[in-house]
Chains A and B, each alone.
Chain A
Amino acid sequence: MADRAVSPLPGASRMEQLVESIAERVVNLVLDAIDINAIVGQVDMDALLAKVDIDAIVSKVDVDSLIDRVDVQKIIDRVDVDEIVNRVDVDQIVARVDVEAIIERVDVQSIIERVDIEQVIQRVDIDKLVEQTELGTIIAHSTSGVASEVLDVVRAQGVGLDDFVARWVNRILRRSSEDWSPGPPKLVNPPVPVPALPLEASA
């Protein structure tokens, strides 16, 4: 428009308007006549894309800021995990897993060190186990005998009589049984072994 304003020839402005309207009309006619889809169909997109340097484009993208703008939680909320899991063939995945290789990579010793064996044993009902399994028969065959049975009975009776006498003495002396020391410190209160540190802590 500024060019138009400084045009040296009179009537030039009207001429330009005329030319513009003619050009506009011509372009519209040409565009109507052209089949854009046919032209696009003739373009070799593969060749075109082969010339594009995708890495250069991607390197210009600030991925971090892009990710920052994504609401991941919202995306996760919209995912039907159950549906995905139902479509997963777990057997096929497991079949492709090299279990031997995984086991070889596991440090069994460190796992054992982190297990509280005492707590595990406390949860085992030894009496029930011996009563209901062949373990009982094994123990019976290996350790039992008339002599050991007699010894067990004699010892149990002896300990019972010891307790009986101790209770009487305590009554006479008006002393509580809790006042008695149960035994030498190293035998009744053995030092507790220090548990191994977890791997994360020791690393």
Chain B
Amino acid sequence: MNPPPVTAAPLDAGRQGHYAGGVTRLVAFAADVGASWGIFTLALAGLSFAINLVTGNQVNLGSRQVLALSGLVIWEFIYFAYQWSLAGKTIGMAVLGIRVVSKDGDAITPRQAVIRTITLPLSFLFFGLGFLGILLNRDRHAWHDRLAGTVVVYSWDARAARLRWLAKQEPTTPV
């Protein structure tokens, strides 16, 4: 069995509205985890610094694990649920050019955004078994997608990207 070649998608391929693949979704999720953790860490450090300034006591919120973990869980919920309900995409998804929509293609509702956020950890159970559907299912549903009635699609306009690339080329002959 010859392995299929790995090639970048042609820039003129119209993929908007098509189900997003596992790699793009994984990279987007990793970017979101990095972004949310980074923001949370910075916020925690900033808050500790502000408390130190106001009270004069040396406080390290990061060392209070229960408090920090609770704050992190709440923050992650806000980070994902708010962004999904607002625009159907998180920072990482925007970078990778994907977004969440209802399974029929309509915009995601705030209720769906909340359900998707709450059920997202379920897909991590059993060594990430819930994500296997992204590779195997025809509609690329993970468990949290199925529970929230959502799908992830490409929102990246490949044609516009190709036009931008063409625009950078030197004009050849006048029309």
Chain B residues near A139 (CB, 8 Å)?
163-164, 167
Q: Is B4 an interface residue (CB 8 A)?
A: yes
Cα(A152)–Cα(B164), bound, Å = 10
Task: Please pick, from B3, B139, B156, B175, the residue contacting A155 in the complex, using a CB distance under 8 A.
Answer: B156
Cα(A132)–Cα(B106), bound, Å = 38
CB proximity of A151 to chain B, nearest CB, Å:
7
Q: Is A133 an interface residue (CB 8 A)?
A: yes
- Interface size range of chain B in the complex: 35 or more
Q: Is A44 an interface residue (CB 8 A)?
A: no
A153-170 near B? 1/0 per residue, CB < 8 Å: 111111111111111110
Chain A residues near B173 (CB, 8 Å)?
132
CB proximity of A152 to chain B, nearest CB, Å:
4
Secondary structure class of chain A's binding surface, majority of residues:
helix
Q: Is B46 an interface residue (CB 8 A)?
A: no
Q: Do B97 and A148 touch across chains, with their CB atoms under 8 A apart?
A: no
Q: Do A161 and B23 touch across chains, with their CB atoms under 8 A apart?
A: yes
Q: Do B21 and A130 touch across chains, with their CB atoms under 8 A apart?
A: no
Secondary structure class of chain B's binding surface, majority of residues:
loop
CB-CB under 8 A for A158 and B27, given A139-B164, A163-B9: yes
A85-123 near B? 1/0 per residue, CB < 8 Å: 000000000000000000000000000000000000000
Q: Which residues from 144 to 161 on chain B have a C-beta closer than 8 Å to any C-beta of chain A?
A: 151, 153-154, 156, 158, 160-161
Q: Do A183 and B161 touch across chains, with their CB atoms under 8 A apart?
A: no
Number of interface residues of A (CB under 8 A): 49
B85-128 near A? 1/0 per residue, CB < 8 Å: 00000000001110001111110000000000000000000000
Cα(A182)–Cα(B101), bound, Å = 14
Q: Do A136 and B22 touch across chains, with their CB atoms under 8 A apart?
A: no
CB-CB under 8 A for A164 and B139, given A183-B105, A187-B105: no
Task: Please pick, from A157, A181, A182, the residue contacting B8 in the complex, using a CB distance under 8 A.
Answer: A157
Q: Do A159 and B24 touch across chains, with their CB atoms under 8 A apart?
A: yes
Chain A residues near B105 (CB, 8 Å)?
183-187
Enumerate chain B interface residues (CB-CB to A < 8 A): 1, 3-9, 11-13, 15-24, 27, 95-97, 101-106, 135-136, 138-139, 151, 153-154, 156, 158, 160-169, 171-175
A-B contact pairs, 13 of them (CB 8 A): A126-B163, A127-B162, A132-B171, A133-B174, A136-B169, A140-B164, A149-B164, A153-B8, A160-B7, A161-B24, A168-B3, A183-B153, A184-B151
Enumerate chain A interface residues (CB-CB to B < 8 A): 126-127, 129-140, 143-144, 148-149, 151-169, 171, 173, 179-188
